[in-house]
Structure 1
Amino acid sequence: MRANIEEAPLGVLCLDSSFTKPLGHLRHPDSFRHPVRYRVLEGVDIPRLLHAPGDALRDLLLEQARQLEAEGVCAIAGSCGFMARYQAQVAEVVSVPVVLSSLTLLPWLAVVHGGLGRVGVLTADAGALKAQHFLGAGWQGSLPALEGLQDGSEFRQVILEGQRDDLDMAAMAEEVATATRRLMRKVTLDAIVLECTDLSAFVDVVRREARCPVYDIVPALDLVIRACGGSR
């Protein structure tokens, strides 16, 4: 089916969450220069994806991806980097490009920056990010340096646990900056990938602290849309 680029070039499979999505976030429509079709996976929240994935969730992603393709999108994305474990399965059942996670950037960045050992990952929860997520994203080497936001009170309460919907941007920015500094102390890095889509709105904070290139899913999706003939 020919993608309806003008109506909705990008379809996003979204977790069921209600916290504030700031500008720069994948789920803020003004983060893109083209229309976006959002498909919320009802009942699938962050705790379930991180700690209780399984065949039922995989089948739901496959079903919803097929529906988005039938509706005419020219590319499909995921709203959480932990969807990487399902990247290959979803990409196999549709004929449009699929980017469920920014972790899919890692094989490319290993070439661009001369080896994965020089590329670190800032993630929502370092303990929950496992080898299968990297395998799903196409990476088969040693795991990169990781740092998570799971110990930050603002990040944990609003995003990981869903205790409230109001997001304190200043508090979140400070937690992101602190996590970035921890990551940079672990190893000398040439670049950082933001696994968590909730960190895309804070890419400038990470870049300022790290003083190196920082990659997230939003510009990666812009590249895919351009390749499909969408917004320029």
Structure 2
Amino acid sequence: MMINGGNRHTETPLGVLCLDTRFAKPRGHLRNPRTFDYPVVYDVLEGVDIPRLLQAPGDDLCQLLIDRARRLEADGVKVVAGSCGFMARYQREVAQAVSIPVVLSSLTLLPWVSVLIGEGGIGVLTADDHALGHPHLEGVGWHRPATRTRIKGLQHGREFSEVILRGERDAIDVEAMTAEIRQATLELVEERDLAAVVLECTDLSAFAPVVREASGLPVFDIVQAIDLAVAAQGG
């Protein structure tokens, strides 16, 4: 029996394009390999952090994501994912550049979730609702945001802002983070009749049970989207 080689990564279903961050990644976060039941490789985009992604998007960043996705594919991974939901603006370009599934953002779930829930609204919890805009929604093929989507950001939460958005420290106060996420969820669901919640921010996946309990709604995140893509590849 012959076992073919030629790839840097053997039997590795998932490669993740990662922002250059060092804050804690609890289990449930896609940057924690124990979140998944299959092998994962992480490709860190050195020098590209959250402020860089939010404040200075452009063609150079898109090309970097394309180049790294192509490299992961050549190295043998079966699915490419992104570590920040705001990569959604580049979803179409990166997916077109490789021949394997690409899931840069949980926002790719929006069209699918809308079919699942019928005419109900979709709530989106995001890192910053001022930063999440039309280019991100258009990038994932979501064309009805005004009538179907209610967006709530966590940028005003002290813990979330200090750790996630500004990178002022790496340790997370889990109780404080949980309280901020619960409060944002309650504010999200009280303003409009919703049928589901999508967590744009990958850092929220570890807190999905908090959102589910506070909202009483189905909650979708990046980990579920990745698992679906990997399963489709037989991973």
Whether TM-score is above 0.5 comes out as: yes
Q: Distance in 2 between matches of 1:185 and 1:132?
A: 27
In the alignment, structure 1 residue 184 sits paired with structure 2 residue 189: yes
Corresponding residue for residue 155 of structure 1: 160
Separation in structure 2 between the aligned mates of residue 186 and residue 201 of structure 1, nearest angstrom: 25
Out of 31, 50, 53, which is 1:49 matched to? Answer: 53
Following the alignment from structure 2 to structure 1, what is the Cα–Cα distance between the partners of residues 113 and 155? 25
- Does structure 2 conserve the Cα–Cα contact (< 8 Å) formed by 1:157 and 1:164? yes
Q: Is 1:227 matched with 2:205?
A: no
1:20 aligned onto 2:24: yes
Partner of 1:172, secondary structure, is helix
One-letter amino acid of the counterpart of residue 124, structure 1: A
C-alpha separation in 2, matches of 1:5 and 1:191: 37
Q: Distance in 1 between matches of 2:9 and 2:55?
A: 35
Q: Distance in 2 between matches of 1:145 and 1:98?
A: 25
How far the C-alpha of 1:219 sits from its partner, in A, is 1.6
Cα deviation for residue 142 of structure 1 reads 2.8
Q: How far does residue 4 in structure 1 lie from its aligned partner after superposition?
A: 8.9
Task: Say yes or no: does 1:96 pair with 2:100.
Answer: yes
2-structure distance, mates of 1:212, 1:181: 11
> TM-score, normalising length from structure 2?
0.94
Unaligned runs of 5+ in 2: 1-5
- Following TM superposition, the consecutive aligned residue runs of length 4 or more in structure 1 with deviations greater than 2 angstroms are 2-7
Other-structure match for 2:117: 113
% same residue: 58
How many residues of Structure 1 are paired with residues of Structure 2 in the alignment?
229
Q: Distance in 1 between matches of 2:21 and 2:223?
A: 19
Hey, what's the Cα distance between the residues in 1 that align with 2:110 and 2:204?
A: 17
Q: Which runs of 5+ in 1 are unaligned?
A: none
TM-score calculated relative to the size of structure 1: 0.95
Q: Quick one: distance in 1 between partners of 2:23 and 2:42?
A: 15
- Contact 1:6/1:35 (8 A) holds in 2: no
Q: Contact 2:79–2:102 (CA<8 Å) still a contact in 1?
A: yes
Aligned residues of 2:9 and 2:75 also touching (Cα < 8 A):
no
Contact 1:75 1:224 in 2 (8 A): yes
Q: Tell me, what secondary structure is at the counterpart of 1:190? A: strand
Kept after mapping to 2: 8 A contact 1:3/1:9:
no
CA apart distance, 1:52: 1.0
* Deviation (angstroms), 1:7: 2.9
Q: Residue type matched to 2:210 in 1?
A: V
TM-fit CA distance, 1:5: 8.6
Task: Give per-residue Cα distances to partners, 1:146-165, cap 9 Å, x unaligned.
Answer: 10100000000000000000
Distance, in Å, in 2 between the alignment partners of 1:118 and 1:66 is: 36
CA offsets per residue over residues 148-188 of structure 1, 9 Å max, x none? Answer: 10000000000000000001111101100000001011101
1:99-126 residue CA offsets vs partner (Å, 9 max, x unmatched): 00000000111111113x5111000000
SS at match of 2:145: coil
Instruction: Name the structure 2 match of 1:174.
Output: 179
- Deviation at 1:3? 8.7
Is 1:77 aligned to 2:71, yes or no? no
Distance 1:42 1:5 in 2: 21
Q: Deviations over 1:46-102 (max 9, x none)?
A: 011111101111110010000000010100000000000000000001000000000
Secondary structure of 2:194's counterpart equals: coil
CA RMSD between the two structures? 1.6
Map of 2:3 onto structure 1: none
- Which residue identity does 1:135 align to in structure 2? E
User: In the TM superposition, what is the alpha-carbon distance from 1:21 to its structure 2 partner?
Assistant: 0.4
Matching of residue 7 in structure 1 with residue 3 in structure 2? no
In 2, the alpha carbon distance for the partners of 1:18 and 1:183 equals: 29
| Superposed CA offset, 1:20-65 (max 9, x none) | 0000001000000001010000110001111110111111001000
